Amino acid sequence: MSREAAIARATNYFDTGAFREDLARRVAMPTESQNPDRADVLQAYLDDEMQPALEDLGFSTEIVRYDGVDLPFLLAERIEGEALPTVLGYGHGDVIRGLDDGWQANLSPWAMTGIDNRWYGRGTADNKGQHSINIGGLKAVLETRGKLGFNAKYLIEMGEERGSPGLREICAKYKARLAADLLIASDGPRLNAERPTVFLGSRGGVTFDLWIDAREGGHHSGNWGGALSNPGVQLAHAIASLVGPTGQIRVPELVPSEIPQSVRDALADCEIDGGPDGPKIDAWWGEPGLTTAERVFGWCSLEVLAYETGTPRTPVNAIPPRAWARLQLRFVVGVDPHAVLPAVRRHLDRQGLSMVQIAPSREEIFHATRLDPEDPWVKWAIASIARTTGKKPALLPNLGGSLPNDTFSDILDMRTIWVPHSYPGCSQHAPDEHLPVDIAREGLAIMAGLYWDLGEVDIPER
């Protein structure tokens, strides 16, 4: 019975093909939470896959729902002793729409296919592959030690790709039942494919629409050009007043006052690299004076996701009556998400652009969260991963994207440590989503090592 034996058992689960078989079966379930026709499949993923997998490890399980939300949640726990540390795991079994027609020839989102050391299929990276790796790590420790040596709880939701409706309410309702010393979960990408990564929270996200309704109907640009305002031009100026030509945000309320030194110290060791399949970094884009890593993980970005005026597919010689754009602010700790739209409104009015209307495009707001990089549990996790892999993990104060991490940090009041088992070029949310097999195998070893160490006496003070 040893740490090395538990890690070997986890990697053997991979080498025998058993992990691939389990993941392929889960990927084959089209758990598209945005598709109302998939409600039965969402339920079946918990009934047929997650409940049996966790019950085989001695977890008690229950599927619960929140009133008014058409999505199931799985709660599971294995309690070995009141004095032992407790860890909460999290994953989501729903996926983004399959987009079947966009995949390469001979690939399907619902059939896991191996090509060039990659497993293709919807959910391989987000998030079925990741929580399957973590459950595999738990299994390896339990079978090696005969017990976990700690208490384990799990929460799996089926609506993360819809903004996690009901998740916060479920966690508030079952707060005592879900209580733990820390969250260890997996989602999102590593810093790069080769380097194990830990992140401690996520940027928040506020998505909103800007539009101008100038008049009824279009009018001939020859007869009326110069006499009628063009909402497409006006909206372009409105956006340009919010974010400059090199991506710098021009509204003070939409950025933090500073980047904490502990965050700068952590990011000094991090270089963003999408690999051979990723885009080339535009080093000149974003807030001046910051490194690329600081711009992505320590600052905010304001993006134009869509812009429409006139009839883009069939342009005509007419001044359009309307222009519309969808914008998204990715923000860090220090920005109040509820102050974003009022600040934008005041700014536009000061610019003489009161004709621009603004409204949130979705009700759910992902809040920004960040555990202190100097927290003892962070150092413990980094040391464990380094011991397993022989590599120095990248430490990101927060993910560049958004996750419902505030549910765990704020509602459940726990430390949050994320260990991703994907990489930036995984085509998450796009056709040809995939998981590199090397990351999957290494992820199983990492999680077995972490869970083994959690059952040892040498853990941070609780």
Angle at the Cα of 453 from the Cα atoms of 402 and 152, rounded to 5 degrees: 60
Average pLDDT over residues 3-29: 98
- Give dist(CA 5, CA 1) in Å, integer: 6
Q: Return the amino acid letter for 268.
A: A
**68 DSSP assignment:** T
Distance CA 23, CA 21 (A): 6
> Per-residue pLDDT averaged across 340-344, rounded?
98
Say how far apart CA 169 and CA 278 lie, in whole Å: 38
Mean pLDDT of 7-32: 98
Q: How far apart are alpha carbons 342 and 364 in whole angstroms?
A: 17
Q: Which phi and psi (to 5°) does residue 195 adopt? A: -110, 115
173: number of Cβ within 10 Å: 13
Structure-derived torsion over alpha carbons of residues 131, 132, 138, 143, reported in degrees to the nearest 10: 170
The structure's pTM equals 0.91
Residue 363: per-residue pLDDT:
64
Average pLDDT rounded to a whole number, residues 403-418: 96
Q: What mean pLDDT is predicted for residues 151-175?
A: 96
Query: Is residue 204 within 8 Å of residue 388, measured between CB atoms?
Result: no
Rounded distance between C-alpha atoms, residue 29 and residue 448, angstroms: 27
Q: How far apart are CA 252 and CA 237, in angstroms?
A: 18
Q: Please, how many CA atoms are within 13 Å of residue 425, restricted to the half-sphere of its CB?
A: 15
Using the predicted structure, report yes or no on whether residue 462 has a pLDDT greater than 80: no
Cα–Cα distance for residue pair 36/32, rounded to 1 Å: 8
Residue 208 pLDDT exceeds 80:
yes
Quickly tell me which residue has 């540390």 as its tokens: 85
Cβ–Cβ < 8 Å for 381, 353: no
Taking only the tens place, the pLDDT of each residue in 82-138 is 999 999 999 999 999 999 999 999 999 999 999 999 999 999 999 999 999 999 999
Partners of 123 in beta bridges: none
Q: Are 109 and 30 in contact (CB under 8 A)?
A: yes
| Rg (the chain; Cα; Å) | 24
**Are the C-beta atoms of 73 and 155 separated by less than 8 Å?**
yes
- Per-residue confidence at 278, pLDDT binned at 50, 70, 90? confident
Please give the structure tokens belonging to residue 391. 């590599």
In this prediction, residue 416 carries a pLDDT of 98
| Nearest partner of 94 among 45, 133, 129, 61, judged by Cα | 45
Calculate what percentage of the chain has a pLDDT beyond 70.
Answer: 99
Question: pLDDT at residue 39 above 80?
Answer: yes
* pLDDT average, residue stretch 418-442: 96
| Residue reference for tokens 């464990």 | 384
What phi and psi values does residue 155 have, to the nearest 5 degrees?
Answer: -130, 120
pLDDT average, residue stretch 222-233? 97
Give 62's strand partners.
75
Name the average pLDDT for the chain. Answer: 96
Name all domains of the chain by residue range, CATH numbers in brackets: 3-202+368-454 (3.40.630.10), 204-256+300-360 (3.30.70.360)
